[in-house]
Chains A and B, each alone.
Chain A
Amino acid sequence: MAVDTSGFVPKGNLNTDSGALSASGRKHTIKRIWEFLKSYRPKIFASLCLALVSVLLTLLVPIKIGNAIDLIGTGSSGMYGDLLIAALFAIGVCISQFAMNIINNSITYHTVKDIRNRAIEKLQTLPLSYIDSHPHGDIVSRIVADADQFTDGLLMGFTQAFTGIMTIAGTLMFMLSMNVVITVVVVFVTPLSIFIARFISKHTYDMFKIQGIERGNQTAVIDEMIKNEKTVKAFCMEKDALGRFDEINERLTASSLRAIFFSSLTNPCTRFVNAVCYALVALSGAYFAMGKGGFAAGAITVGTLTVFLSYANQYTKPFNEISSVISELQNSLACAAKVFEILEEESETPQKEDKITDCRGDVAVENVDFSYDPSVELIKGLRILVKSGQRVAIVGPTGCGKTTIINLLMRFYDTDSGRITVDKKDIRDVTRKSLRRSYGMVLQETWLKYGTIMDNLLMARPDATKEEVINAAKLSHAHGFIRRLEKGYDTVIGEEGEELSAGQKQLLCITRVMLNLPPMLILDEATSSIDTRTEMKIQSAFETLMKGRTSFIVAHRLSTTVNADLILVMQKGRIIEMGDHLSLIRKGGFYKSLYMAGMGGDEADGS
């Protein structure tokens, strides 16, 4: 946005990256999460209970089947009993897993919904200083991606880790109760696969990094060439562009091949370790099952051997899950901290209940001090007195603080000391809503939301009729170009209105004000991107609009200042001259030199 934040240093530790949570920060975050989950605690408890049930039953099913295998062919009716129990257990697993999944989904989805809703409500109350000084992409990714990561990673990770630990403990217990030696074989061989997986991922990390760099290089070329394709075409440099692209493409392909191949060795390798483990279990189990010689002491049945084989197959799974969960948990804690940072950010000072009604438009700025950064002085002892219906022009070179005054008038920022009054009421004593409704504003930086042209214009007055909108558009000379668009007023414009030129966007913003007709006006370089002839036409519409309305005009072309009742000439945040056009010209100061230079034709430097 068009805010002068020169020399502004963002406070807070928003930019410290993830992963680096301090111990106290982590504690604080966990505490916050626990509070946040208050209403979900019964559900979480239920989920854990179900996880426990499902783990126990999952482990018991192979045992029952093993028992049945031992009795197979003996004609014992006990086999059918075992099978029946196994089937019931399997159904139990199915039901408890399904119920757990549903409960987990409900917790996750609702938590992320709550967090996002709270965040968006928070955004409405955050001071502009926060929004101006933090990259929007970062805030968006906190509310969208981090919130997701947090709920997904944390809640799912938590239940997964819980299930994993229970499975490992349960498996160990059952195995030990059956045969110690085979258990030892499983316990020592299985984790090998995890080490191998770790080893591979560690060594392929660098390859992926190289791939990432090459991919970044290629995206940069794609981005540059496609964004500027018109220039590429104008110079017939397609071959050249393709040559640059191919060179990187070759490197990217080679690095991708390396990274993909080496990382894809993980599965075959772990499968191999599992196969070795399986073979060892089969070997030792078979000798125990024969029950001869040294193996007689721990003799087992064939059924038990099948139980061991089935456990050996499944034993690595919880290990893999837990090891991936640990890093995920750390990551989601960091994400949670990032989300909570926004939620905990201080809101704007609470507003008082008084309202501005039937605004006349007397504005007084009394002894105001203000700066974005306490160490860089900006506005000091500012006094302005504006009577109802007067026109105030603010002029000065780029970065002199013109926009700052607008920020203060609209109460986007609060003054450090002194006060601003509208109709003799301190603007801090009235609701922000009633203050802002009294102003209509057009900014140099135009903003349009995703939607049709009509949607965008109706923002100013949601209840306006189509005729009123079209009339307003005619007044602002936007009607002509809107009509020429593919679907006229129903043309959908993308985010930020990329399809429209800067001038057209500005015309739309002017139309909004024409539709709204507020008691006071703020025009912050409202016509900077519009050609002079159209501007002249709009100017006459503005003249009508400004009649009887207190208006603040930040002017980029000094020709607009001539008719102002009061001109504020600013330099480095201070008002250095004040008066009407004639008196300032006669004075022969900074204004006069600005005015004369402006007539020389460098109006393009107004930004």
Chain B
Amino acid sequence: MHELVKYLNDYKKECVLSPLLKMLEAVFELTVPLVIARMIDKGIKAGDGTIITVSFVTLIFLGIVGLCVSATAQYFAAKAATGFSAGLRHDLFEHILSFGFAEIDRLGTSTLITRMTADVNALQNGVNMFLRLFLRSPFIVAGAMIMAFTIDVKSAFIFVGVIAALAVVIYFVMTINIPLLKRVQSKLDEITRLVRENLSGVRVIRAFTLEEDSVARFIDANSHLTSMMQRSGKISALLNPLTYVIVNISIVFLIAAGDYQIRAGILTTGAVVALYNYMSQILLELIKFANLIVTLNRSVASAQRVNEIFDVSCSMTGDPSHPDIINASDVPEVEFRNVSLRYHENADDAISGISFKIEKGSSFGIIGGTGAGKSSVAHLIPRFYDATEGEVLVGGINVKDIDLSALRKHVGIVMQKAVLFEGTIRDNMLIASPGATDEEIMEALETAVCSEVVREKGGLDAHVEASGKNFSGGQRQRLAIARVLCAKPSVLILDDSSSALDFLTDKKLRENITGLSYHPTVIIISQRTASVEGCDSIMVLDDGKCSAIGPHAKLLETCGVYKEIYLSLYRKEED
């Protein structure tokens, strides 16, 4: 947790003042029994009405000052806690944004999102409660004990015994129960999952007639949960009764001992009543303290989860000594030298031993089946991943040596999953090239065959919902293409990005791209031969390996896999 303490640095004043003020409030509370004792001994016993009235006024005054002090403390605690979480959220988000694709794949987005939201909130809550209570409760407990010592040393030893006994009880209940509660929670998660599975898988379960099996599985998990809950319930059921009996029996001892002292003339009745009151205060505070520990425990778990994310850092290293890519015409625009990529250490290669060159201004097709490694090749060019073996070069420079943002400006990629962001259509277009004029945007939209879509939606200022939900798959794909075109990249990669387009639109799009005035190097990835057959050169991938490279006509003759793909779409026609 201590790594996260730095987010409180800007709130040092609050972090010191809030607990201090809480302590001050505690001091006032600890004074109350003394006032009552005085009331009894000097007021009632002596029959002095003024002392009683003065005591009353003192009590009210203590209450008012206590209110002011603790309200201020609450404000400082809230300020520090919210400031803490604001800083933490900012840094965590920034850190997540620094991840490479490999880290995103490994961690998964849902984990990242819950840690950003639920865990940070739990931490904020923890900091808040900590500042409010962590000094107050121990202080009241210790203070009550010290006060007891000032009243009567012999009686005070009863306090020491009680506090030790209570601490032991609370400690044991907590240490046994907290891990149990954790297991209960994970069992409950399993229950939730099983219910969800029974719904989403209803057809499969019924088709395979596995109803009884799923009910049995559920009942089994459910019984487990119940017995775990009962075990943990038994332990927490002990807490309140035990603390109650300990405190009350010690009060009995206190009074019995007090009786002896009073008769010996050492103590007054008022002092015994004060001791009694201190004992009650201890009980109340210890229970609050126990609850605080539960909250803190949850926060510590959240802190660990947040720190786990901070501990992950982008696995891509290198020396980005080249801030720019110089477009020399004598080197190939993109070159792969014996490249392999493995996503996990233990997994097989996703692609292996891939080598090819793409000349500047030419077009290059990549074709292959599901899982052949097409996207893996594409993702290596803008350095979304680092090659496990071999070298990837853009403009003759190893991508590891190029400044990342310069590389990604140079290489424009339209990914399989077309993503739009919340905002206007213009906002989305400007993402790739912040300086683009409306004319340039319209030109790009025209090329991507979607100026009509934009017009229908109400122009460039039309609203785009989060993730582009208010656009169809085909519309999103074309807008995503237009977005990349706005930046006029030197290398344009279309990763199966016209899959939702009908045949005619797809064809029109390819023609428009071929006709672009700035002649980018185009890489088209597809499962369909029709999409790549116009390319200068085509690479056929099969199971992560390169089967052949060549133009369409040549591949039809020499490459069996290519011919198979080609025929799989047309074979029936030729039957």
Q: Are A105 and B78 in contact (CB under 8 A)?
A: no
A398 at the interface (CB under 8 A from B): no
Residue with the highest number of chain B CB atoms closer than 10 Å, among A83, A286, A441: A286
Q: Which of A139, A412, A459 contacts B208 (CB 8 A)?
A: A459
* Shortest Cβ distance from A581 into B: residue: B572
B113 at the interface (CB under 8 A from A): yes
Q: Which residues of the other chain, A, contact B570 by a CB distance below 8 angstroms?
A: 599
Q: Are B371 and A224 in contact (CB under 8 A)?
A: no
Q: Are B273 and A268 in contact (CB under 8 A)?
A: no
A422 at the interface (CB under 8 A from B): no
Q: In the complex, which residues 417-439 of chain A have their Cβ closer than 8 Å to any Cβ of chain B?
A: 432-433, 436-437, 439
Report A468 CB to chain B, min CB distance, Å: 16
Q: Which residues of the other chain, B, contact A215 by a CB distance below 8 angstroms?
A: 117
* Given A483-B348, A536-B568, A275 contacting B63 (CB threshold 8 A): yes
Report B365 CB to chain A, min CB distance, Å: 15
Q: Which of B210, B211, B244 contacts A459 (CB 8 A)?
A: B210
Q: In the complex, which residues 247-298 of chain A have their Cβ closer than 8 Å to any Cβ of chain B?
A: 249-250, 252-253, 256-257, 260-261, 264-265, 267-269, 271-272, 275-276, 278-280, 282-283, 286-287, 289-290, 292
Which of A9-17, A86-94, A187-195, A319-327 makes up part of the contact surface? A86-94
A246 at the interface (CB under 8 A from B): yes
Report A490 CB to chain B, min CB distance, Å: 12
Q: Are A271 and B66 in contact (CB under 8 A)?
A: yes
Main secondary structure of the interface of A (DSSP, over half): helix
Which of A38-46, A164-172, A387-395, A495-503 makes up part of the contact surface? A495-503
Q: In the complex, which residues 289-309 of chain A have their Cβ closer than 8 Å to any Cβ of chain B?
A: 289-290, 292, 302, 305-306, 309
Q: Are A279 and B59 in contact (CB under 8 A)?
A: yes
Query: Bound state CA distance, A276 and B64, in angstroms?
Result: 9
Query: Bound state CA distance, A595 and B199, in angstroms?
Result: 36
B453 at the interface (CB under 8 A from A): no
Q: Are A223 and B370 in contact (CB under 8 A)?
A: no
Q: Which of B49, B93, B94, B263 contacts A73 (CB 8 A)?
A: B263
A116 at the interface (CB under 8 A from B): yes
Query: Bound state CA distance, A231 and B276, in angstroms?
Result: 67
Q: Are A236 and B370 in contact (CB under 8 A)?
A: no
Q: Which residues of the other chain, B, contact A222 by a CB distance below 8 angstroms?
A: 93, 113, 116-117
Query: Bound state CA distance, A478 and B466, in angstroms?
Result: 35
Q: Which residues of the other chain, B, contact A462 by a CB distance below 8 angstroms?
A: 213
Q: Which residues of the other chain, A, contact B117 by a CB distance below 8 angstroms?
A: 215, 218-219, 222
Q: Which residues of the other chain, A, contact B421 by a CB distance below 8 angstroms?
A: 224, 228
Which of B151-159, B160-168, B250-258 makes up part of the contact surface? B250-258
Q: Which residues of the other chain, A, contact B90 by a CB distance below 8 angstroms?
A: 242, 245-246, 249
Query: Bound state CA distance, A126 and B572, in angstroms?
Result: 44
A226 at the interface (CB under 8 A from B): yes
Report A196 CB to chain B, min CB distance, Å: 11
Q: Are A86 and B252 in contact (CB under 8 A)?
A: yes
Q: In the complex, which residues 30-65 of chain B have their Cβ closer than 8 Å to any Cβ of chain A?
A: 32, 36, 39-40, 43-44, 47, 49, 52-53, 55-56, 59-60, 62-64
Q: Which of A119, A234, A481, A486 contacts B371 (CB 8 A)?
A: A481
B499 at the interface (CB under 8 A from A): yes
A95 at the interface (CB under 8 A from B): yes
A30 at the interface (CB under 8 A from B): no
Q: Are B248 and A86 in contact (CB under 8 A)?
A: yes
B99 at the interface (CB under 8 A from A): yes
Report B499 CB to chain A, min CB distance, Å: 5
B272 at the interface (CB under 8 A from A): yes
Q: Which of A305, A313, A486, A501 contacts B344 (CB 8 A)?
A: A486
Q: In the complex, which residues 343-374 of chain B have their Cβ closer than 8 Å to any Cβ of chain A?
A: 344, 346-348, 350, 368-371
Q: Which of A116, A283, A498 contacts B191 (CB 8 A)?
A: A116
* Shortest Cβ distance from B272 into A: residue: A72
Q: Are A504 and B44 in contact (CB under 8 A)?
A: no
Report A115 CB to chain B, min CB distance, Å: 10
Query: Bound state CA distance, A83 and B260, in angstroms?
Result: 14
Q: Are B96 and A234 in contact (CB under 8 A)?
A: no
Q: Which residues of the other chain, B, contact A240 by a CB distance below 8 angstroms?
A: 431
* Shortest Cβ distance from B382 into A: residue: A234
* Given A72-B255, A120-B218, A257-B78, A604 contacting B499 (CB threshold 8 A): yes
Q: Which residues of the other chain, B, contact A116 by a CB distance below 8 angstroms?
A: 191, 195, 218, 222
Q: Are B415 and A223 in contact (CB under 8 A)?
A: no
Q: Beta-carbon contacts of A515-536 to B below 8 Å, as 1s and 0s?
A: 0100000000000011111111
Q: Which residues of the other chain, B, contact A481 by a CB distance below 8 angstroms?
A: 371
Query: Bound state CA distance, A234 and B487, in angstroms?
Result: 12
A588 at the interface (CB under 8 A from B): no
Query: Bound state CA distance, A65 and B94, in angstroms?
Result: 62
Q: Are B241 and A485 in contact (CB under 8 A)?
A: no
A53 at the interface (CB under 8 A from B): no
Query: Bound state CA distance, A60 and B237, in angstroms?
Result: 22
Q: Which of A97, A272, A436 contacts B241 (CB 8 A)?
A: A97
Q: Are B384 and A233 in contact (CB under 8 A)?
A: yes
B533 at the interface (CB under 8 A from A): no
* Shortest Cβ distance from B86 into A: residue: A253
Q: Are B234 and A230 in contact (CB under 8 A)?
A: no
Q: Are A123 and B199 in contact (CB under 8 A)?
A: yes
A35 at the interface (CB under 8 A from B): no
A34 at the interface (CB under 8 A from B): no
Q: Which of A69, A102, A289 contacts B237 (CB 8 A)?
A: A102
Q: Are A228 and B502 in contact (CB under 8 A)?
A: no
Q: Which of B85, B97, B128, B382 contacts A229 (CB 8 A)?
A: B97
Q: In the complex, which residues 73-89 of chain A have their Cβ closer than 8 Å to any Cβ of chain B?
A: 73, 75, 79-80, 83-84, 86-87
Query: Bound state CA distance, A65 and B431, in angstroms?
Result: 76
Interface size, B (range): 35 or more
Q: Are B47 and A292 in contact (CB under 8 A)?
A: yes
Q: Are A531 and B370 in contact (CB under 8 A)?
A: yes
Q: Beta-carbon contacts of B504-527 to A below 8 Å, as 1s and 0s?
A: 000000000000000000000001
Q: Are A73 and B219 in contact (CB under 8 A)?
A: no
Query: Bound state CA distance, A507 and B370, in angstroms?
Result: 11
* Shortest Cβ distance from B197 into A: residue: A449
Query: Bound state CA distance, A313 and B285, in angstroms?
Result: 14
Q: Beta-carbon contacts of B553-575 to A below 8 Å, as 1s and 0s?
A: 00000000100110011111101
A450 at the interface (CB under 8 A from B): yes
Q: Which residues of the other chain, B, contact A232 by a CB distance below 8 angstroms?
A: 97
Q: Are A436 and B207 in contact (CB under 8 A)?
A: yes
A542 at the interface (CB under 8 A from B): no
* Given A223-B466, A237-B431, A601 contacting B202 (CB threshold 8 A): no
* Given A269-B67, A532-B565, A136 contacting B53 (CB threshold 8 A): no
Q: Which of A218, A260, A449, A495 contacts B82 (CB 8 A)?
A: A260
A447 at the interface (CB under 8 A from B): yes
Which of B296-304, B401-409, B436-444, B454-462 makes up part of the contact surface? B401-409
Q: Are A65 and B251 in contact (CB under 8 A)?
A: yes
Residue with the highest number of chain A CB atoms closer than 10 Å, among B49, B70, B245, B483: B245
Query: Bound state CA distance, A113 and B229, in angstroms?
Result: 11
Query: Bound state CA distance, A305 and B277, in angstroms?
Result: 12
Q: Are A83 and B255 in contact (CB under 8 A)?
A: yes
Q: In the complex, which residues 224-278 of chain B have their Cβ closer than 8 Å to any Cβ of chain A?
A: 225-226, 229-230, 233-234, 237-238, 240-242, 244-245, 248-249, 251-252, 255-256, 258-259, 262-263, 269, 272-273, 276-277
A52 at the interface (CB under 8 A from B): no
Chosen A-B contacts, 25 in total, with CB atoms closer than 8 Å, are A73-B262, A90-B244, A93-B244, A117-B218, A120-B195, A123-B199, A124-B205, A144-B192, A230-B104, A235-B408, A238-B94, A252-B86, A253-B85, A260-B128, A275-B63, A283-B55, A283-B56, A305-B40, A412-B203, A412-B206, A436-B206, A460-B208, A504-B370, A531-B368, A533-B565
Q: Give 6 closest A-B pairs by Cβ, nearest first.
A: A101-B237, A275-B63, A73-B262, A279-B59, A90-B248, A94-B245
**Sample of 19 more A-B contacts, CB < 8 Å, known A143-B195, A144-B191, A257-B79:** A65-B276, A72-B262, A90-B245, A91-B245, A93-B244, A97-B240, A116-B191, A140-B192, A261-B75, A283-B56, A302-B273, A309-B277, A412-B203, A440-B207, A487-B346, A533-B561, A562-B572, A599-B573, A602-B502
